[in-house]
Amino acid sequence: PPHSVDVAVIGAGAAGLMAAGRMGQAGLRVVVFDHNDEPGRKILISGGGRCNFTHLDAAPRHYLSANPHFVKSALARYTPADFVRMVDRHHIAWHHKSPGQLFCDGSARQIVNMLMAECPAGQVTFQFGTRLTAVDHCEDRFCLATTAGAFEARSVVLATGGLSIPKLGASSFSYDVAKRFGHSLVPTRAGLVPFVLSGGPEADALRDLAGVSVPSRIKVAKETFSDALLFTHRGLSGPALLQASSYWTHGGILGIDLLPGGDALSFLTDGRRRRPRAALATVLSELLPQRLARFLTHEVEETETMANQPDRRLRGLAERIHRWQIVPAGTEGYAKAEVTCGGIDTRDLSSQNMGSRRVPGLFVIGEAVDVTGWLGGYNFQWAWSSAVAAAGGAVEH
């Protein structure tokens, strides 16, 4: 006979572990499946190994979704402060990186250990290294065929995340199951991902800048992000560009300000007075990293002194510094993306408890849903909040 449980959670990542703990504590018998041999592999590498586990300001405007209102209910009912209380209860030390952006002082492993410790033994069991071959809805129960045998559950929680980083075990499992149960998908694309530039003289010259990092302001679609820009061997990265990538679509223009808050033209004009005999690149490197200064002035003869730079050239250079426009060839794709934009359409999900409107007892949480957070701890907060909402739904089901 099949193993019978109240809830089967598929995916032992951030959202699945959180949901399992809450449901176990509420007295449900829960089984958690994961095809990896251990839980939370993405948590372990997150935030450079320190897990940026939440952002205290998490609000709907930090999330992309076809329905921007969808996140409101779950985020309001399980807040960043609620998660911090749990972290404190487990005596995990943490710090702000930027205001509100919280990281472990020690290691991301502490977050995985905490989530596992929150799962009451006896109530929550784990099936690691297990593949699911079928999830069917028969009468009022779900039947699951797995490499660890057959299981029957009153509810199923889909928590296998998005497509980012297949090497860590990402798969389209939740999308596929939801689709089979009549749910629609919002087309997916890589988010929080470095840009790739196409070939050509400019891109070749840019490659020499690999490793250079500058403060920047990036305009993309209707959004603006102020943060570091990092030149890479293949294109552009750094937090500002990662943020921009989630809003970028093929063919879109990035407007780049390499001197946010500054005034390049008055600096250059003043520089012409101050250092008439210096080269343009030399003066500009007072303001920008030397390699970048040289790149921006590569069309100017090095022997030409500042005194000989016409206004027109200084204006053109200032324009380039403040309003550089680039059309990236693409992104590094799911292999390098922190998140997946798009996913299971929120239209057929309850924002109160993440329950399917098509199949009672089916819940979808975390990144599998068409909800994508900004960089900065917002994605984990969505995982926690959506998991708690679904746990409430499963308890009532």
Contact set with ligand FAD (CB under 6 A) = 10-16, 33-36, 41-42, 45-47, 51-52, 132, 159-161, 164-165, 169-171, 173, 338-339, 366-368, 377-380, 383
Nearer to ligand FAD, 112 or 218 (CB): 112
Q: Residue 108 Cβ, how far from ligand FAD at the closest point, in Å? A: 8
Pick between residue 102 and residue 314 the one whose CB is nearest to ligand FAD: 102
End-to-end CA distance of the chain: 24
Token pair 């292999």: residue: 335
**Tokens 């799962």 correspond to what residue?**
119
Q: Which residue number, 47 or 392, has a Cβ lying nearer to ligand FAD? A: 47
* Pick 52 or 216: Cβ nearer ligand FAD: 52
Amino acid residing at 148: A
Query: Residue 206 Cβ, how far from ligand FAD at the closest point, in Å?
Result: 24
Angle between helical axes of 378-396 and 80-89 (0-180°, round to 10): 90
User: What contacts 111, CB < 8 A, 6 or more positions away?
Assistant: 40, 43, 51, 53, 87, 92, 104
Using the minimum distance from each CB to ligand FAD, give the nearer residue, 143 or 278: 143
59 touches 380 (CB < 8 A): no
> Between residues 165 and 288, which has the closer beta carbon with respect to ligand FAD?
165
Q: What is the largest CA-CA distance in the chain?
A: 88
Q: Between 191 and 271, name the residue whose CB sits nearer to ligand FAD.
A: 191
Residue nearest to ligand FAD (CB): 13
Taking the complex as a whole, the smallest distance from the CB of residue 369 to ligand FAD amounts, in Å, to 8
What is the smallest separation between the CB atom of 5 and ligand FAD, expressed in angstroms?
A: 16
Burial class for 223, CB neighbours closer than 10 Å (0-12, 13-18, 19+): middle
Nearest to 365 by CA among 57, 156, 204, 104: 156
To ligand FAD, the closest distance from the beta carbon of 191 in angstroms equals 10
- Measured CA to CA, the distance from residue 321 to residue 397 in angstroms comes to 58
Closest distance of CB 393 from ligand FAD, Å: 16
Show Cβ contacts of residue 152 under 8 Å, excluding neighbours closer than 6 positions: 2, 3, 4, 5, 141, 142, 143, 144
Helix axes 14-25, 378-396, angle to 10 degrees: 40
d(CA 188, CA 199): 26
Cβ 114 to ligand FAD, closest distance in Å?
Answer: 15
